[in-house]
Every structure is written in C-alpha cells, then in structure tokens.
Amino acid sequence: MVTKPLNEPRRPYDEDIPVAPPPEHDIVAQAPAHAPGEQAYPEWRVLFHLHGTQSSTVGLDVWRVTVLGRADPMSAFRPDLDYAPYGAMRYGVSRRHALLRPGERDLYIVDQNSTNGTWVNGQRLMPGRDFPLSDGDIIELGALRMTVRIVQSPGDDESAPKETPKRRMRGWRFRFFKW
C-alpha cells in the first residue's frame, strides 16, 4: 500500500516502481455517451503524460463526468480511463479513484475518497471537492504521477491549428505567511 502524509509534498522516490510494459500504442480514450437527461458540456481534450520507468501518454476527450481509476477483474467495473495497464495496482490507484468534471471555463478533478489520495502539484485534495486543473499540473493518483496537458478547451477555436498545448493562467493558489 502507498501512503503519504496529509498535505505534505511528496518526497521523490529513490527508484521508480517497476511495472509491466504499457500497451504498444498510446490509448486515446473517449468518454461513453451520456445518459438521457445528463448534461453534456463542450469537449475538453486532455493528455496525461505518465512518469516512471515506462513513461506513456494517454489522451482523453472529456465532455461529461469521467471516472479515473483501475479495472477490477473480479467484477464488471471498468472506469472511463483505466490505468491498470500502467501498474495502477502497484501504485495504489483505487478502482474509482477520481473524477474529471468538465465545466465551461474549467476542468475539475474530484477525489472520490480514494485510499491513497489524489494530489495536484504536491497538495492533497479533499475528497468530494472540485479542484480546477491547469495545463502543466502534476497529478498523483496514489503514487502514479502524471503531467496534465490541456490540448483543447471549450473556448478554443477548433479551426485554428495548435502548435503547443494551451497554457491557461490562474490566480495564485498560495498563501504567504510572515514568520
């Protein structure tokens, strides 16, 4: 089991946890069709660059609430984005670890009371609370580290080709204290 103290930055591992090699090709996942009456927001296109000995990139189109986690071979549960091929079990990723929730202006990540926590830029998320993601954020699902690249957001002009992922600026998220 992988554990980290609450709201302390993650210390670097001395070595990466070895995992089985990822699939031959990167996966481009698409969230399944929304149920009748479910609100579908404009599409977000996101890349997750996984860190570790077998670094990979996973692409995802998000236009509804999307479950991040690992498949459970003992049940029929499959998350929308399955990290099992990337060693999710060894890294402490829960079956229903976190959600991505799209909005008009922000893409949010929500921890689902996972056993080993969800971390963004070294800060542990409170379960059930929306946290806005920015391009370049480092996400950790347990100890599975990845960099988020927001390639397309609802406000982007789809006809214009992009050379680099969109970089969005936000206000400061830090509090400074006088000692």
Note the pLDDT tens digit of each residue in 128-155: 999 999 999 999 999 999 999 999 998 7
Quickly state the pLDDT bin for 156 (edges 50, 70, 90): confident
72-123 tens-digit pLDDT = 888 888 999 999 999 999 999 999 999 999 998 999 999 999 999 999 999 9
Could you tell me how far CA 129 lies from the centroid of its own chain?
15
Is residue 10's pLDDT more than 60? Answer: no
In the chain, where the domains are located: 28-152
Whether pTM > 0.75 for this model: the answer is no
Find which of 11-15, 87-91, 110-114, 174-178 is predicted with most confidence, using mean pLDDT: 110-114
Output the six-digit token pair for 65. 């609430």
What per-residue confidence (pLDDT) applies to 104? 85
**Beta partners for residue 50, in sequence order:** 56, 146
Tell the residue number behind the tokens 């609100």, with chain if given.
39
Percent of the chain with pLDDT over 90: 54
What is the structure's pLDDT at 126?
97
Count CB-CB contacts under 10 A for residue 149.
19
Question: Residue 146 and residue 51: Cα distance in Å, rounded?
Answer: 5
CATH 2.60.200.20 fits 28-152, yes or no: yes
